[in-house]
Amino acid sequence: MKKILFSLVVLSFCSMAKAQNIFEKDYTKPEATEVVGPLPKIVTPGIGSAPPSDAIVLFNGKNLDNWVMSKDKSTCLWKLQDGVMTFKPGTGDIQTKQKFGDCQLHVEFKIPADAKNSTERNNAGNSGVFMQERYEVQIFDSYNNETPLYANGQMGSIYKQVIPMANASSKPGDWNTFDIYYTAPRFRYNGSVEKPAYITLVHNGVLTLNHFEIQGTIEYIGIPRYELHDKAAIKLQGHGSEVSFRNIWIRAL
């Protein structure tokens, strides 16, 4: 008991000393508010389409080694041609072998030039980028489309959760870029949500989602709800339309 009391006295004294040190600083001098360290790590920016030096390259056009089929984790069956990965009808979604939480994700994609000729309007360039296998950033043909299927299901939406602030879509047949800044949700010991997930999206250089609070897993029918999960894969949706992808990289944060 004496040892515990002594420890508490020492801690109290140290706290008072630190507080006193703060008040004794001379704030008329610039060094009073300068922090010496630690310094941030050095990251070399990519030149042109190259990724930053600390990025994990998920697809560089050479192979599909970083991807598996979502349904059974088997070898990726999407098409690879001329440095481009394209959904192969009848195969399904694919996802990364690696799992991620907080991250910066860069994805380039192209909707088929004949997307508007789809017999199903719901399938006109339909695909998506799923963060942690659950939260979809929608890919859809929304170019010059004044009457989308629904506003919260168009390009750049978090599917059925939010309407993007702008429509920056390239025309079908041209490349688009998503730069996604994602904060994973945090859960308490009992599985309840301590902090929700947040996402910022820059689409073709235009900010279209600004720190949006994700409401839960994506639901086609019903209300989104959170489910307890850890780090998970990046998933690309195979939804019938032959959407193509290239130059995919990620920075784990």
Confidence (pLDDT) at 13: 42
3-state secondary structure of 168: coil
Which has the minimum average pLDDT: 31-35, 100-104, 220-224?
A: 31-35
pLDDT (tens digit, 9 = 90+) per residue, 10-50?
Answer: 445 445 445 456 677 888 889 888 998 899 999 999 998 89
Q: What percent of the chain has pLDDT over 70?
A: 87
Which has the minimum average pLDDT: 65-69, 86-90, 148-152?
A: 148-152
Higher pLDDT, 26 or 115: 26
Higher pLDDT, 125 or 149: 125
Confidence (pLDDT) at 31: 87
Confidence (pLDDT) at 118: 54
Work out whether the CA dihedral 137, 48, 250, 239 comes out positive or negative. positive
Confidence (pLDDT) at 25: 83
Answer yes or no: are the C-beta atoms of 151 and 163 closer than 8 Å: yes
pLDDT (tens digit, 9 = 90+) per residue, 169-206?
Answer: 999 999 999 999 999 999 999 999 999 999 999 999 99
What number is the average pLDDT over the span 47-55?
A: 94
Which tokens in the block code for residue 113?
């030039």
Residue 78 has φ and ψ, to the nearest 5°, of -65, 160
Whole-structure pTM value: 0.88
Looking at every residue in the chain, the average pLDDT score rounds to 90
Which has the minimum average pLDDT: 1-5, 38-42, 53-57, 161-165?
A: 1-5
Answer yes or no: are the C-beta atoms of 98 and 66 closer than 8 Å: yes
Answer yes or no: are the C-beta atoms of 158 and 137 closer than 8 Å: yes
For residue 84, count CB atoms less than 10 angstroms from its CB and return exposed for 0-12, middle for 13-18, buried for 19 or more.
middle
